[in-house]
Chain A
Amino acid sequence: MPSRTALLPPRHYLNDGYGIKSWLLTRDHKRIALLYLAGVTFFFFVGGAFAVLIRLELATPAGDLVSDETYNKLFTMHGVMMVFFFLIPAIPAVLGNFLIPIMIGAKDLAFPKLNLASWYIYMIGAAFTLWAVVQGGLDTGWTFYTPFSTIASTTNVIPAALGIFVTGFSSILTGLNFIVTIHRMRAPGLTWFRLPLFIWSHYATALIMVLGTPVLAITIVLVAADRLFRFGIFDPAVGGDPVLFQHLFWFYSHPAVYIMVLPAMGVVSELVAAFCRKQVFGYTFVAFASLGIAILGFLVWGHHMFVAGQSVYAAMIFSILSFLVAIPSAVKVFNWTATMYKGSISWDTPMLYAIGFIGLFTIGGLTGLFLASVGLDVHVTDTYFIVAHFHYIMVGGTIMGYLGGLHYWWPKISGRLYNERLARISAVIIFLGFNLTFFPQFVLGYLGMPRRYHAYPPEFQVLNVLSSAGASILGVGYLIPMLYLMWSLRYGKVAGSNPWGAVGLEWNTTSPPPTQNFLETPIVTWDAYQYPTTVEGHVA
Chain B
Amino acid sequence: MSNHIVPLRTYYLVFLTLIVCTAITVAVSFVDLGRFNVVAALGIAILKATLVVLFFMHVKYSGKLTWVVVAGSLFWLGILIVMTAGDYLTRVRTGTFG
Contacts and interface: CB of A to CB of B under 8 A. Distances in A.
B76 interface: yes
Contacts of A239: 98
A281 B79 CA distance: 33
B64 to A, nearest CB: 12
Nearest to B76: A211
A191 interface: no
Nearest to A302: B87
B84 interface: yes
A75 B10 CA distance: 59
Nearest to B69: A179
Interface in A278-322: 298-299, 302, 309-314, 317
A420 to B, nearest CB: 44
Given A211-B73, A302-B87, A314-B86, 14 more contacts: A183-B65, A239-B98, A243-B87, A251-B80, A251-B84, A298-B76, A302-B83, A311-B90, A311-B91, A311-B92, A312-B90, A313-B86, A314-B90, A317-B83
B70 to A, nearest CB: 13
A241 interface: yes
A314 B91 CA distance: 9
Interface of A: 183, 211, 215, 236, 239, 241, 243-244, 247, 251, 298-299, 302, 309-314, 317
Interface string B70-98: 00110010011001101111111000011
Nearest to A247: B84
A247 B87 contact: yes
Contacts of A183: 65
Given A311-B91, A313-B90, A241 B98 contact: yes
Contact of B80 (A215, A309, A313): A215
21 contacts: A183-B65, A211-B72, A211-B73, A239-B98, A251-B80, A251-B84, A298-B79, A299-B83, A302-B87, A310-B87, A310-B91, A311-B86, A311-B87, A311-B88, A311-B91, A311-B92, A313-B86, A313-B90, A314-B86, A314-B87, A314-B90
Nearest to B80: A251
Classify the interface of chain A: helix, strand, loop or mixed.
Answer: helix
A113 to B, nearest CB: 21
A344 B30 CA distance: 76
A299 B82 CA distance: 11
Contacts of A317: 83, 86
B90 to A, nearest CB: 4
A393 B79 CA distance: 26
Given A211-B76, A215-B80, A299-B79, A236 B87 contact: no
A480 B63 CA distance: 51
Contacts of B79: 298-299
A235 to B, nearest CB: 12
A206 to B, nearest CB: 13
A522 to B, nearest CB: 24
A310 B98 CA distance: 13
Contacts of A298: 76, 79
Contacts of A311: 86-92
Contacts of B73: 211
A148 B93 CA distance: 24
A297 to B, nearest CB: 11
Contacts of B76: 211, 298
Query: What 5 A-B pairs come out closest when comparing CB atoms?
Result: A314-B87, A311-B90, A313-B90, A311-B91, A247-B84
